[in-house]
Structure 1
């Protein structure tokens, strides 16, 4: 889904967005057809503004129990695509403004809508996907899904990230 600047006739071009090969795919799978549009406006000889919307049904694993969770991401986006080098890359310290995150520097006058859509899907995903807020997750010992019922494992007090510190403290208390 590449659009060359010279293909934007009359300063504006509308493209329908489908899921033809750009979809992220590794951790996130498509759960249905993608619907979206992108409007490309030529604002200068070397600059195009891209405004778009996406409705993306996705399937990703629950962060606790690993069951697949389906959700729909409704996304609105804006990019300013400029042919040239990023002048900010030469500066050592710089304040990052919102418009900096919306600016894409291109080596040639071609907008890759697939790359922009892929980035937007990854940015729109929740930090932690859960099948429900009450999800109990998996047993840390046997891997059983605790949402299906309890497992036969005995609760261990010596697991977890601070178990080694607790043993050190217990040994120290016994020695004094």
Structure 2
């Protein structure tokens, strides 16, 4: 049995959900972004306990098939962007999603747009820019390395999209969030 969960978007979320389920004595086969898999069907009482535990932690158990599909699209895109190796698509996004969800991309695209008010491509761009912000804050990679990791064709392309989304260039964003520290020789 697979349950679909809204707002489960990071590894910390997976840990929280897994811990909550184990505390309830329900041992899932697998917990991943947006999904919980159990070996067997669950009783209504167990489902209610899961629903309550999820809601207490800011998650939502999804029962509607369309909503589940939208959340699955989001989870696949988030997994893709958050992958430590970077976005590594051998095919384009539409083929990747169609294959993973066994659904025609135009149907996925229409459903996503009608529910979310933005296109799947725009959602991917927003996720990539959020990841770029995170990587800029860590200050461990150059802009060129970030661009490569997020599968941009160039630093200029990343910078252009970054500015469209945030209103700032990556350099301005980085400066704005740089810690306001005094040089040691200036400290009184």
Shorter-normalised TM-score: what interval? under 0.3
- Relative to total residues, which structure has the larger helix share, 1 or 2? 2
Which has more radius of gyration? 1
Give the TM-score of the pair, scaled to structure 1. Answer: 0.21
Please give the TM-score of this superposition, normalised by the length of structure 2.
0.20
Larger strand proportion of the pair? 1
